[in-house]
A = this chain, B = another copy of it.
């Protein structure tokens, strides 16, 4: 019976096991290994794996496919250790959130008889760990695929099929592009959420703030609950891209801050909010299925024209209301000088 090995049985590794089980795939033995023996045993009890391996060698023994779902920094060591154990034609993939460094490790450490095809399921939830694993975690999600230059075509197809079996949509992309795009839509949000939570929770008023924090605060800071291993590994392996986007984020905050502070730029502030809402609504309604540069650019510019049109009317109406409010405030201020 063909064998697949999952190394690392946290939220992602455990969910891959459960998803494969639920896909109804027969004739595949899934072996699993986690450096915490208790997690490996629990994964078997949960039905995420068929066989609980007692070490890495036992896990990859005879495996045609190896999925490395450990924290990013452990991948290098895992590759080093399994390299001499892999059979000819074996396919190795991973699930790390950054891809350039992982591909460099694979190039360096794996024998030429083995194909490495990087992978990154773009899915997650508030709580990490095996207990949060679920078969439906990847359903309808994108799963980035970043093959090494030397990967066999058959190996790429194997990983794409694995992704589809998990319910996700494979998106093939260059590793460097992957890291630069993910810095904007995944790693920067992680830092934004972490900074937001850390700011409030280190305030002396935190007990009062926490009591008044609603679902908006909870959603916006959700990523601050990410595994600290994961967060830190992302920073370490995608540093330049991330720092670039943090700088641009601070500039954007500074721009909004200026609009908020300056009574004369209320029209621009209104337009900014209206444009963001309209763009996000369009994004939620029809998220692009996969990167298709030529077509996407047409859609974007057509969408832009439509947005400008819709937003325009709204901004004119609101600006009138706001000007009236500001005039009223000034009148009030003159009428009630004692309150100033």
A142-B214 contact given A260-B243, A266-B236, A318-B232, CB 8 Å threshold: yes
- A228 contacts across to B, CB distance below 8 A: 270, 273-274, 276-277, 314, 318
User: How many copies of this chain are found per oligomer?
Assistant: 2
A289-B123 contact given A201-B280, A229-B318, CB 8 Å threshold: no
- A203 contacts across to B, CB distance below 8 A: 184
Report whether B220 and A193 are in contact in the complex, using a CB–CB cutoff of 8 Å.
Answer: yes
- A328 contacts across to B, CB distance below 8 A: 76
The residue of chain B having its C-beta at the shortest distance from the C-beta of A101 within the complex is: B329
Does A231 touch B at the CB level, under 8 Å?
yes
Report whether A242 and B219 are in contact in the complex, using a CB–CB cutoff of 8 Å.
Answer: no
The residue of chain B having its C-beta at the shortest distance from the C-beta of A289 within the complex is: B211
Does A78 touch B at the CB level, under 8 Å?
no
Does A321 touch B at the CB level, under 8 Å?
yes
Interface size class of A (residues with CB under 8 A): 35 or more
Does A325 touch B at the CB level, under 8 Å?
yes
Report whether B252 and A250 are in contact in the complex, using a CB–CB cutoff of 8 Å.
Answer: no
Does A112 touch B at the CB level, under 8 Å?
no
From B185, B186, B198, B243, contact of A252 by CB (8 A): B198
Report whether B257 and A246 are in contact in the complex, using a CB–CB cutoff of 8 Å.
Answer: yes
From B123, B253, B279, contact of A201 by CB (8 A): B279
Report whether A239 and B261 are in contact in the complex, using a CB–CB cutoff of 8 Å.
Answer: yes
Does A196 touch B at the CB level, under 8 Å?
yes
Report whether B141 and A252 are in contact in the complex, using a CB–CB cutoff of 8 Å.
Answer: no
Does A210 touch B at the CB level, under 8 Å?
yes
From B104, B190, B266, contact of A216 by CB (8 A): B190
Does A292 touch B at the CB level, under 8 Å?
yes
Does A332 touch B at the CB level, under 8 Å?
yes
Minimum Cβ distance to chain B for residue A53 (Å):
22
Report whether A197 and B280 are in contact in the complex, using a CB–CB cutoff of 8 Å.
Answer: yes
Minimum Cβ distance to chain B for residue A168 (Å):
11
The residue of chain B having its C-beta at the shortest distance from the C-beta of A332 within the complex is: B108
Interface segment among A22-30, A43-51, A81-89, A295-303: the answer is A295-303
- A219 contacts across to B, CB distance below 8 A: 219-220, 222-223
Report whether B208 and A189 are in contact in the complex, using a CB–CB cutoff of 8 Å.
Answer: no
